[in-house]
A = this chain, B = another copy of it.
């Protein structure tokens, strides 16, 4: 057995929808929802999944999980947007991850059938969506959690540049 193959999950990821936002390139895109206050977007959910949206209207925030298909390939150390020195990739939210899956908690404004109206989006336009989960403070909120280098960071930056942008899409159609 090839140990490299043992590390591959031949998972078939389904695109459950697309994210529509005002951001067409990484440069200038907010790096987190907390830096995207009141930026509006829409989630267009594919038909087979619309029934699964029922009851979501009651949640003020939802998690979006998405495939960052325009991110550069994995590298183990990066200079994150909010710092001036290199950090281990897993100690950052940079998109050049082994699996380029992003998570963002956005504000849910309303639903019309298979369309979710959201605010506070930090996601590139047309990004493939792979999951939606309800946000629950009891599960997800640790407001005083210690946050390593981010507690001491001096780089006051709220939007991206092109440092993590791939020359080609990472759809990986091979």
Inter-subunit contact A61/B142 (CB<8 Å): yes
Inter-subunit contact B12/A7 (CB<8 Å): no
Within 8 A of B (CB), among A28-86: 32-34, 46, 49, 51-63, 65, 67, 76-77
Inter-subunit contact A134/B54 (CB<8 Å): no
Interface size (A, Cβ < 8 Å)?
Answer: 73
For A93, the closest partner residue in chain B by CB is B133
* Bound CA span A172–B61, Å: 31
Within 8 A of B (CB), among A1-42: 6-16, 32-34
Inter-subunit contact B142/A67 (CB<8 Å): no
Does more than half of chain A's interface fall in helix, strand or loop, or is it mixed? mixed
Within 8 A of B (CB), among A118-174: 128, 130-151, 171-174
Inter-subunit contact B49/A147 (CB<8 Å): no
Inter-subunit contact A88/B150 (CB<8 Å): no
Collect the chain B residues with CB atoms within 8 Å of residue A76's CB. 49, 51-52
Collect the chain B residues with CB atoms within 8 Å of residue A13's CB. 8-9, 11, 13, 99
Provide a sorted-by-A list of 12 A–B residue pairs whose CB atoms are within 8 angstroms.
A9-B15, A11-B11, A14-B98, A34-B138, A55-B148, A58-B146, A58-B151, A59-B91, A60-B142, A93-B134, A99-B131, A134-B148
